[in-house]
A and B are shown apart, each in its own frame.
Chain A
Amino acid sequence: TQLLEQSPQFLSIQEGENLTVYCNSSSVFSSLQWYRQEPGEGPVLLVTVVTGGEVKKLKRLTFQFGDARKDSSLHITAAQPGDTGLYLCAGGALGANSKLTFGKGITLSVRP
């Protein structure tokens, strides 16, 4: 069974601060996705990374896939209240179409 552990579980910060959160596994994934979910809604895809060591930027968000494709990090620069939400990482299993393994998520609260 492939498991994804996300840390920290909860994070409350002030607007303008920087933060980094993590998604770790002992398993290798073919790809890794990050989603943001707001209360009462479904997860919204932020990014997909597929190559070990890959770095992708989405405005103030920077995503990195580990060299061994077992872990990923998300860095947010100058967090804003609109960044508040549940951040989920999901790994694509090698050779198993559409079967994503999700972490339990990181609840981020950005205070104005």
Chain B
Amino acid sequence: KAGVTQTPRYLIKTRGQQVTLSCSPISGHRSVSWYQQTPGQGLQFLFEYFSETQRNKGNFPGRFSGRQFSNSRSEMNVSTLELGDSALYLCASSLDGGETQYFGPGTRLLVL
């Protein structure tokens, strides 16, 4: 079984731009969660999608949004990028929203 894939792996943007990141979960997994990882804050939960519906949301501003498609693939979007958005963005999938999650390799975003 293929693992969780994320594209692109690396991205450089400038302040004010927007970005869309993509995540393909493990086949058969219906839950996709997104996390932001920075050296200072560690891994922080952004949101979780299950069957195309946002089921959980972390404490991030509205500039961070996401969606999930009928094939369980998910995208997250960040608008009006700020320098502080530079981070590794990780997505994780699970079968049915259980707590055991499998992570992708992440997208490294650098905002200049």
Task: Let me know if A111 is at the binding interface, CB within 8 A.
Answer: no
A32 nearest in chain B by CB position:
B99
A44 to B4, alpha carbons, bound, how many Å?
A: 11
Task: Let me know if A110 is at the binding interface, CB within 8 A.
Answer: no
Contact B101 A98 (CB under 8 A): yes
A29 nearest in chain B by CB position:
B99
Chain B residues, Cβ within 8 Å of A102: 35, 42-45
A102 to B4, alpha carbons, bound, how many Å?
A: 19
**B-contacting residues, A11-60, CB 8 Å:** 30-31, 33, 35, 40-45, 48
Contact A97 B103 (CB under 8 A): no
Contact B99 A45 (CB under 8 A): no
**A-contacting residues, B3-21, CB 8 Å:** 4, 6
A50 nearest in chain B by CB position:
B99
B59 nearest in chain A by CB position:
A1
Chain B residues, Cβ within 8 Å of A92: 99
Contact B103 A33 (CB under 8 A): no
A98 to B103, alpha carbons, bound, how many Å?
A: 13
Contact with B along A86-102 (1 / 0, CB 8 A): 00101010001111111
Identify 12 residue pairs between A and B in the complex whose beta-carbon atoms are under 8 Å apart, listed by A's number: A31-B99, A33-B100, A33-B101, A40-B105, A41-B105, A42-B6, A97-B31, A98-B33, A98-B55, A102-B43, A104-B41, A104-B42
B interface residues with partner A (beta carbon < 8 Å): 4, 6, 31, 33, 35, 41-45, 48, 50, 55-56, 58, 90, 92, 94, 97-106, 108
A interface residues with partner B (beta carbon < 8 Å): 30-31, 33, 35, 40-45, 48, 88, 90, 92, 96-105
